[in-house]
Structure formats: C-alpha cells, structure tokens
Amino acid sequence: MSGTAMLASGSILDHLEPRYAWHWPGFEVDLGAFNTWVEHRTGVNPDVTTHIVMLACAGFLVTMLFLVVAHRHALVPRGIRNFFEPVLLFIRDQMVYPWLGHHNGRVLLPYFWGVFFFILSCNLIGLLPAPFGITATGNFNVTGALAVMTLAVGIVGGMIKKGALGYWLGLVPPGVPVYLYPLILPIEIMGMLTKHAALMIRLFANMTAGHAILAVLAMWTSIAPSLLPIRAIQLGGSAAMVCFEVFIALVQAYIFTILSAIYISLSLAAEH
C-alpha cells in the first residue's frame, strides 16, 4: 500500500508539515537529536527535517539515474536506458526545443531534464511506504526554491543574451513612450514575479491536496477501525487515490517543466 498506512495514528498536519521524527517500520529516527548533535560540534543547527531527507533521497535517485543512463551508452539502447530515452527525447523535442529553439534549448536542456525528474522523484517518493511516504513538493519552501531557480535562469540568460540594461528595459513592450517607463517597468516586473509565484503555488497546492485526501481516508480507520464498511471505503478510496496521485505526480512534473520552458523563452525572446 502507500505511505498512508503510517497516518492511522497521526494527524493530517503531521503528514503535510515537515517533522523531526522520521518513521521507519518498527522504530523512529529522531532528526531533532541529530540537529542538536551537529549544533554542539559546529555551532550551526542544520535544521534537518523529513522534507530535507526526502529531498536528499530524490537528489540521490536522480543523480544515480543519470549516471547509469549516461554510462550505458550504446547504439541501440537497452535496459533502463531503453526505458528513459523516450522520456528524455520527449522533454527535448516536445517541451524544450519548440519554445527555446535548438541553440538555447540544447544549452538549457540539462536543467529541464533535472527539474522534471527531480520533481517527479519527490512526488513519487511521497507515495511509497515508510520510511518514505513524505512529499517534499508539498512544502512552500521547496516549490518556492524551484520557482526561484526558473526565474534566475530566465533573468541570467536574458541578461547574458541582451545585456543587463537591455534585458530590464526590454521588459517594457515596444512603442511605449519613454516617460511611461517608470510606470510600466514595475508593472512588468510584478507580472513576471506573479507568473513564477503561480508556478510555486500550483505545484504545492496540487501535491498537498492529494495527500490531504489520502490522510483523511487513512484517518477513517482510526475513527472506526471495527466497522467493515468504513474499512472497505478507506482501503478502496486510498487505492484509487494512490493511482490518481501517480498520474498527478507525472502531470505536475510535466506542467512545471513546460511552464518553466515557456517563461524562460519569454526572457530570451528578442521582444522581451
């Protein structure tokens, strides 16, 4: 089953918020004690939570995946490369190149590959049994950092291509009188920031909503564990929601990646 099994004795907020208690089957790892131990020896509290642990797991998984795929280079792809190569080509040919063109797309392609698989890994890890079952992309800090990365890539890429002054002045639509620049430029900057804020909120909200529903279904068992109809509804609903969440995990990784490609292409476009 999914990571919802560990929710039967906890609250919904315990699942959606970062915790210092990392549950394993049969025991629990106290991350708070680890933070205190590091602070006593370095003077710095790393404030490691379950979300940070899941981010590390996702980063390790993606790194190993790309190392294995890159190492097993062959004229005819086989094994895991045969599975992932169509996905990589789809991201390149259907998501990146159509918006950024061949030159810019080729330069930035590793970023989009990394973003897609990192988000997908974070989303899917949240559906695994303990010690996983925690979705880091259900944290504003995580989705916010991802959105800021996309914003930074667009701004830096735009300034490299057009120059610092040319990029920022290029945010104002052509034909606007110079005396209106002090009014229009802040509006355009706010619009750019709003689009990336929506990128952050969209991923956070979708992942949080699905796991909140899974948590509610799991809580039903603790409310009425002896009622067979409630148990059947809980198990059936949880199974259906897990399948749906796998689909949502893929869709949200796709949406974040394609919107990132669109926003960065706007920064690199000649008229912006």
What the block records as the tokens of 55 is 């981010």
Q: How far apart are CA 171 and CA 266, in angstroms?
A: 10
If one counts every other C-beta atom within 10 angstroms of the C-beta of residue 226, the result is 7
Residues facing residue 30 across a β-bridge: 21
Q: How far apart are CA 25 and CA 132, in angstroms?
A: 10
- At 153-167, the pLDDT tens digits run 999 999 999 999 999
Query: Among 142-146, 202-206, 242-246, which range has the highest average pLDDT?
Result: 142-146
pLDDT band per the 50, 70, 90 thresholds, residue 130: confident
Which residues are CB-neighbours of 106 under 8 A, at least 6 positions away?
Answer: none
pTM: 0.86
Mean pLDDT of 3-9: 42
Which of 45-59, 100-114, 146-160, 220-234 has the weakest average pLDDT? 220-234
What the block records as the tokens of 174 is 């052509």
Q: Phi and psi of 206, rounded to 5°?
A: -70, -40
- At 10-35, the pLDDT tens digits run 455 555 677 888 888 888 899 999 99
